[in-house]
Amino acid sequence: MITLLIPTINRFSFIKKYLIYLQAEGFNGQVLIGDSSDKSNFDATQKYIESNEFSFEISQYAFPNMYPHQCIKKMLKDIKFPFSMFICDDDILVLNTLKKCLKFLENNPSYSGVGGISVLAKLDTDNYNNVVSTYVYRVREMVCQSASERVIDLFSDYSVVNYALARTEQFKCRWPDDPNGKNYDKAIGTEILPCAILAAQGKVKMLDELFCVRQAHEDRIILPSFFDTVMQPQWADTLNFAIEKLSNIVSSYDQITYNKANMTVTHAWTSHLNKWARSSLSNAKLPLYKKISIKVKRLFGVKIHLILSRIYGRLMLILNKKYDKSLNLSALLKPSSRHYAEFKKIYDVIRESDK
């Protein structure tokens, strides 16, 4: 049995569709919703839950002004089942694949997490019931033998391996006690540290099955840029705390001294930060692309500009390893696609009107 922990803020329509999908698929586990929404969104979710019957246990918590990792930390005590997963309110899991993940963990004790293929579904800016396109959201396996090697591997080519089902006992260890209260860095607390701890705890498997459909939309909460992040007064304290916590875990799993583990973790995390900084400098050149884009539109017209933009976008996806023809929207909607049955269920739920 599985517990899903879903932090949310002001996205009643996404939560509603998620619950509709889970009910339609006969989910029989537990859903814990850490709700940081304003009153209107919170009340709408509460009313929807109270006015419907579900095949699964569901609890909604009022957590105003809290980051996702803070919501999760407060809900850990209420987890009832041996397998757990954190999932965003706009990222829908394929339940049939989730069941296969559970079986995999039962049969493979050296693995701490298991997920699968994820796709990003871009929603229409003016209509979140309309899926415009899809492409692969890259997640990868961690298969090195030691905790040290897996942490180095993760930070050398970072991937959000946190999109994985885990054993509840290990899952609970991923979420930090918040030494700085509300000021704890969100990126480290919600994503980077949990990913690193998951990798340290064991190998991570990605099944060759559609596992998650992530929805890309204008209301997504995007993490701050590198420079905005490191300028925050709490960032350095958060980083030091995270490195210390991860070092203790690596030391325990590899049975090595804390100092040796700390050297490995610090070096790996530093490598990650260096790459992030270089990437941020490259992205600073984006205004040049925008200037070229405007000039192309003026010289050749809107139609040619659109064609060239699509070609450029496709090339960027290929270069960033995000292009897989079999995961394009048109391919996924063909009955001949091996992902068709599972994708179509989620696609239809997304396209349902909120009214």
341: tokens are 């049955």
d(CA 173, CA 166): 11
pLDDT at position 78 over 70: yes
Of these ranges, 21-25, 135-139, 188-192, the one predicted with the greatest mean pLDDT is: 21-25
Confidence category of residue 311, pLDDT binned at 50, 70, 90: low
State residue 17's pLDDT score: 95
Please list the residues that pair with 131 across neighbouring strands: 123
Task: Report helix, strand or coil for 93.
Answer: strand
- pLDDT digits 0-9 by tens, 168-185: 999 999 987 765 555 578
State residue 219's pLDDT score: 77
Confidence category of residue 292, pLDDT binned at 50, 70, 90: low
Percent of the chain with pLDDT over 70: 84
Long-range Cβ contact pairs of 273-277 (< 8 A, separation 24 or more): 275/158, 276/226, 277/226
State residue 306's pLDDT score: 58
pLDDT at position 319 over 50: no
283: tokens are 């992205």
Higher pLDDT, 201 or 281: 201
State residue 210's pLDDT score: 97
SS3 content of the chain, % helix, strand, coil (to 5): 55, 20, 30
State residue 185's pLDDT score: 80
d(CA 155, CA 142): 11
Single-letter amino acid, residue 50: E
With beta carbons less than 8 A apart as the criterion, state whether 168 and 84 touch: yes
**20 to each of 29, 161, 284, how far by Cα in Å?**
14, 26, 41
State residue 308's pLDDT score: 52
Average pLDDT over residues 317-330: 68
d(CA 194, CA 200): 10
The mean predicted confidence, pLDDT, of the chain is: 87
List the domain boundaries for the chain: 90-243+343-351, 286-323
d(CA 16, CA 138): 27
Cα angle 121, 123, 128 (rounded to 5 degrees) comes to 130
d(CA 219, CA 58): 25
pTM of the model: 0.85
- pLDDT digits 0-9 by tens, 15-45: 999 999 999 999 999 999 999 999 999 999 9
Confidence category of residue 192, pLDDT binned at 50, 70, 90: very high
Instruction: Count Cβ atoms below 10 Å from residue 321 Cβ, excluding itself.
Output: 11
Return all residues near 297 (Cβ < 8 A) that are at least 6 apart. Answer: 305
266: tokens are 């610090």
What's the gap between Cα 151 and its chain centre? 18
State residue 179's pLDDT score: 57
- pLDDT digits 0-9 by tens, 242-265: 999 999 999 999 999 999 999 999
- pLDDT digits 0-9 by tens, 84-129: 999 999 999 999 999 999 999 999 999 999 999 999 999 998 899 9
State residue 15's pLDDT score: 95
Longest dimension (CA), the chain: 65
d(CA 3, CA 27): 10
